[in-house]
C-alpha cells in the first residue's frame, strides 16, 4: 500500500499535484505564477473579490507583476482564481500567503492567519500538505496552526502534512526571483519536511532546517539583520552630516572590501511590509521568555527617528532661506517605500507628510506609481499625486526626495527647484546647484 507521503511526493514529482495559494498579494501572486510556470495546475484564493475580478479581466494590481503569464495560464486552464474556499478540497498543497501586520500596540496581528487557518481546517482532507509562507514569530505553525488543523481528528505527519517556508520575495528585484532564491523549509514532522522539500525543489533549491520554529526564526533573522544594519548607517549618517563627511562615499568605499562587510544605505526611515514589522514579532515572543531583544528596540528607535531628522533638516534649510515651515509649500517626491514599486505600506513618506502638515506646511506629493493616497491604519490624507512640472517646482519652497524612482530626472528636478532635501543620495553627481541641495 502506498502511504500518504509517498503518494503526495509522487504527485508533486510528476506535477499532478494541484497547488492552492491563499492570498494573491505581493507574495502570493508571483508565487502562483512561478508554480504555474513550473508545470503545476494552480488555484489562487483571495477573499478580496475585486482582485479576483481584475485577474479574470486581465488586469494586474501590482506594478512589477506582469499580467501576461497570469492571463496565459488562465487561458490554458493551468491557473484559476477564486474567492470560493470550498475549492480548497480540490488542491493537494495549500500555501498560505496572507498578511501578518502589527496592531496599534506593535504586537502581532494574526487575525488574517487565524481566519485562513480556520477556513482550511473546515475543508482539510487526508493527504493534503499545508505550508505557511507568511512571516511570523517562532512557534506560530506549531502553536496556532497545528492545533486548529488537528481539531477535526486528523494527525500531522500521517493524515495531513504541515510545514513552514518563509517567502523571500524582493519586489522589483531584477536579479533574484523565486527561481534563483533558495527556500528555507521546516516541517512539523520528518514526513512533512520531506514533502514540503519535494514541492519547493520543483521551483528552486529547498534548504531544510530541523523544525518549523527554526524556519520561522530564519526569516526574522534575515529581516532583523537588515533593520539593524540600516539603523547603523542611519545613525552614522546623522553623525557624518555633523562632521561634513559624505556617508554614501564612505559606504561605497567600505564596500570595496571583499570580505566581512555588506553595504546598507541610509534613508528617510524604514518602510514596506517586512523590515519595520517583522522584528517586532520576535520581540513580542521574546517576552514570553523574559528576554528583551535590545538590538531590535534600538534599531527600531533609530529608524523611527529618521523622518523627524528629515523634518529638522528641512526646517533648518527653510530657516536659512528666511522662511518658516508654517505656510511653506512643500512637495514630497515619492511615497512608495522604495524605488520603482507601487507599495506604500509603512512608507516613511507618510510620517514626514503628517509632521509637515502638523507644522502648518502646505503639502502635496508626486509619485508616478501611486496616483491616490488610500487611507491606511495610521493615516488618511485623501490626496492625489500632483503633476510634476517645472512650474510646480518653481513655486515650491522645498522638495523632499523620499523615494528615488528611476522615472525621476533629478537633474531637471534640481534645476527647477528652489530647495531640494535629498534623503536618498538621488542628486549624486549633480553639479552647479550651490547650496540648493541639502542632504538629510
Ligand X SMILES: NC(=O)c1ccc[n+]([C@@H]2O[C@H](COP(=O)([O-])OP(=O)(O)OC[C@H]3O[C@@H](n4cnc5c(N)ncnc54)[C@H](O)[C@@H]3O)[C@@H](O)[C@H]2O)c1
Binding positions for ligand X, rule: CB under 6 A: 22-28, 45-48, 51, 97-100, 112, 115-116, 134-135, 167, 169, 171, 273-274
- Of 145, 285, 164, 271, nearest to 213 by C-alpha is 164
Active site residue 274: yes
Taken in order 171, 175, 180, 182, the sign of the CA dihedral is: negative
Spatial distance between the Cα atoms of 156 and 260, rounded to a whole number of angstroms = 42
Gap between the terminal Cα atoms of the chain: 68
Judge whether 204 and 166 are in contact, CB under 8 Å. Answer: no
Judge whether 398 and 318 are in contact, CB under 8 Å. Answer: yes
Distances from the Cα of 168 to the Cαs of 180, 187, 223, 274, 368, in angstroms?
11, 18, 10, 10, 26
Task: Closer to ligand X by CB, 132 or 363: give it.
Answer: 132
Q: C-beta of 85: minimal distance to ligand X in Å?
A: 7
Q: C-beta of 375: minimal distance to ligand X in Å?
A: 15
Task: Closer to ligand X by CB, 344 or 422: give it.
Answer: 344
Judge whether 126 and 154 are in contact, CB under 8 Å. Answer: yes
* Residue in the shown chain whose Cβ atom is closest to ligand X: 25
Q: C-beta of 242: minimal distance to ligand X in Å?
A: 34
Q: C-beta of 27: minimal distance to ligand X in Å?
A: 3
Spatial distance between the Cα atoms of 284 and 113, rounded to a whole number of angstroms = 17
The owner of cell 493537494 is 92
Name the 3-class secondary structure at 51.
helix
Exactly one of 93, 97, 192, 274 is catalytic; name it.
Answer: 274
Task: Closer to ligand X by CB, 114 or 202: give it.
Answer: 114
Task: Closer to ligand X by CB, 23 or 187: give it.
Answer: 23
Q: C-beta of 410: minimal distance to ligand X in Å?
A: 26
Task: Closer to ligand X by CB, 99 or 368: give it.
Answer: 99
Q: C-beta of 275: minimal distance to ligand X in Å?
A: 10
Task: Closer to ligand X by CB, 25 or 36: give it.
Answer: 25
- The Cα diameter of the chain in Å comes to 85
Spatial distance between the Cα atoms of 132 and 27, rounded to a whole number of angstroms = 12
Spatial distance between the Cα atoms of 167 and 146, rounded to a whole number of angstroms = 20
- Of 70, 210, 249, 94, nearest to 162 by C-alpha is 94
Q: Which residues are catalytic?
A: 274
Amino acid at each position: 500500500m502506498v502511504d500518504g507521503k509517498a503518494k503526495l511526493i509522487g504527485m508533486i514529482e510528476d506535477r499532478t499535484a494541484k497547488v492552492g495559494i491563499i492570498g494573491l498579494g505581493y507574495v502570493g501572486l508571483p508565487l502562483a505564477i512561478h508554480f504555474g510556470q513550473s508545470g503545476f495546475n494552480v488555484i489562487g484564493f483571495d477573499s478580496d473579490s475585486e482582485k479576483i475580478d481584475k485577474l479574470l479581466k486581465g488586469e494586474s494590481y501590482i506594478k512589477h507583476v506582469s499580467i501576461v503569464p497570469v492571463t496565459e495560464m488562465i487561458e490554458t486552464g493551468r491557473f484559476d482564481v477564486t474567492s470560493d474556499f470550498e475549492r480548497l478540497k480540490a488542491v493537494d498543497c495549500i500555501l498560505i500567503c496572507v498578511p501578518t501586520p502589527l496592531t496599534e500596540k506593535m504586537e502581532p496581528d494574526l487575525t488574517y492567519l487565524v481566519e485562513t487557518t480556520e477556513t482550511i481546517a473546515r475543508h482539510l482532507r487526508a493527504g493534503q500538505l499545508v505550508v505557511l509562507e507568511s512571516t511570523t514569530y517562532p512557534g506560530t505553525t506549531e502553536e496556532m496552526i497545528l492545533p486548529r488543523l488537528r481539531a477535526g481528528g486528523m494527525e500531522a505527519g500521517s493524515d495531513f502534512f504541515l510545514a513552514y517556508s518563509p517567502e523571500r520575495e524582493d519586489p522589483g528585484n531584477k536579479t533574484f526571483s523565486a527561481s534563483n532564491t533558495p527556500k528555507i523549509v521546516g516541517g512539523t514532522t520528518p514526513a512533512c519536511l520531506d514533502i514540503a522539500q519535494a514541492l519547493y525543489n520543483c521551483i528552486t533549491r529547498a534548504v531544510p532546517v530541523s523544525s518549523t520554529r527554526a524556519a520561522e526564526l530564519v526569516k526574522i533573522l534575515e529581516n532583523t539583520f537588515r533593520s539593524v544594519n540600516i539603523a547603523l548607517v542611519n545613525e552614522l549618517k546623522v553623525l557624518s552630516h555633523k562632521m561634513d563627511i559624505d556617508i554614501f562615499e564612505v559606504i561605497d568605499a567600505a564596500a570595496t572590501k571583499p570580505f566581512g562587510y555588506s553595504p546598507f544605505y541610509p534613508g528617510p526611515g524604514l518602510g514596506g511590509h517586512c523590515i519595520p514589522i517583522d522584528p517586532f514579532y520576535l520581540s513580542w515572543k521574546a517576552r514570553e521568555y523574559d528576554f528583551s531583544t535590545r538590538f531590535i528596540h534600538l534599531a527600531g528607535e533609530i529608524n523611527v527617528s529618521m523622518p523627524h531628522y528629515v523634518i529638522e533638516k528641512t526646517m533648518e534649510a527653510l530657516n536659512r532661506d528666511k522662511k518658516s515651515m508654517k505656510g511653506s509649500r512643500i512637495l514630497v517626491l515619492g511615497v512608495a517605500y522604495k524605488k520603482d514599486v507601487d507599495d506604500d505600506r509603512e512608507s516613511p513618506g507618510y510620517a514626514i507628510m503628517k509632521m509637515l502638515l502638523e507644522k502648518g506646511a502646505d503639502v502635496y506629493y508626486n509619485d508616478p506609481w501611486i496616483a491616490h493616497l488610500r487611507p491606511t491604519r495610521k493615516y488618511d490624507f485623501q490626496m492625489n499625486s500632483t503633476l510634476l512640472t517645472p512650474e510646480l517646482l518653481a513655486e515650491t519652497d522645498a522638495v523632499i526626495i523620499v523615494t528615488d524612482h528611476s522615472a525621476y530626472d533629478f537633474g531637471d528636478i534640481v534645476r527647477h527647484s528652489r530647495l531640494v532635501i535629498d534623503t536618498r543620495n538621488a542628486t549624486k553627481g549633480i553639479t552647479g546647484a550651490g547650496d540648493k541641495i541639502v542632504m538629510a
